[in-house]
Each structure stands twice: as C-alpha cells, then as structure tokens.
Amino acid sequence: MYFNQVEFGQRIRELRTGKGWTQEELAGELNIGHVHMNSIERGRKGCSIDLLLELAECFDVSTDYLLTGKEHCSRQTGERLQHVMDDLAAIIRDLA
C-alpha cells in the first residue's frame, strides 16, 4: 500500500462538494489560503498532520479514509446502523 497524493486530493474534493462547500469556504474553515486548498485538491501539495486531522474532523471521516480511501465505520454510519437494528428489533417484536 502506498499514499497517492492525487487520490487524496480527489477524496477531499468529493467530500467538500458533497457538503456543497466551495474551496474558499473550506479553506476559510481550515484557516488556510484558497491557493493552498486548490493545490491539495489537485494533488500538487500535501498537508501537515494537523491539517489532516482538521480535515478528518471537518468531514467526520477517519484519517485512514482520507489517506487510503478505506472506509471505516464513522459516527454517521454507526448511527445509521443503530437505526436499522432498532427497526429490525421492532419488526421482530411485532412478529412475536
């Protein structure tokens, strides 16, 4: 396994656009310049560990996902799973 800076940037872009944010808005949230944000998304520049942690928190994803694309159970996924389990438990109770 290796780190692909271009794919890292693409993941950042997908997460940002999924939230409906512009590069300027995300850069402002992270206290970095728009040009720096653009360079990260295009895979031309990396980021510090501190910025990586801020990005992960900002998008509620793991640093593993940002770095490698491997998804782990996020808080949102855990909440969705809990709702599904609650629904299944209610169905089972109704059947009994």
C-alpha separations of 23 from 30, 36, 73, 88 in Å:
11, 10, 26, 41
pTM of the model: 0.73
**Hey, where are the domains in the chain?**
5-71
The CATH H-level (homologous superfamily) assignment of domain 5-71 is: lambda repressor-like DNA-binding domains (1.10.260.40)
Question: What pLDDT, on the 0 to 100 scale, is given for residue 73?
Answer: 62
Digit-coded pLDDT (tens) for 23-81: 999 999 999 999 999 999 999 999 999 999 999 999 999 999 999 998 766 677 778 88
- 3-state helix vs strand vs coil in the chain, percent to 5: 70, 0, 30
Give the side-chain half-sphere CA count within 13 A for 25: 9
85 dihedral zone (left: phi>0; alpha: psi -120 to 50; beta): alpha
- In this structure, the number of other CB atoms found within 10 A of the CB of residue 34 comes to 14
The tokens describing 37, both together, are 């944000």
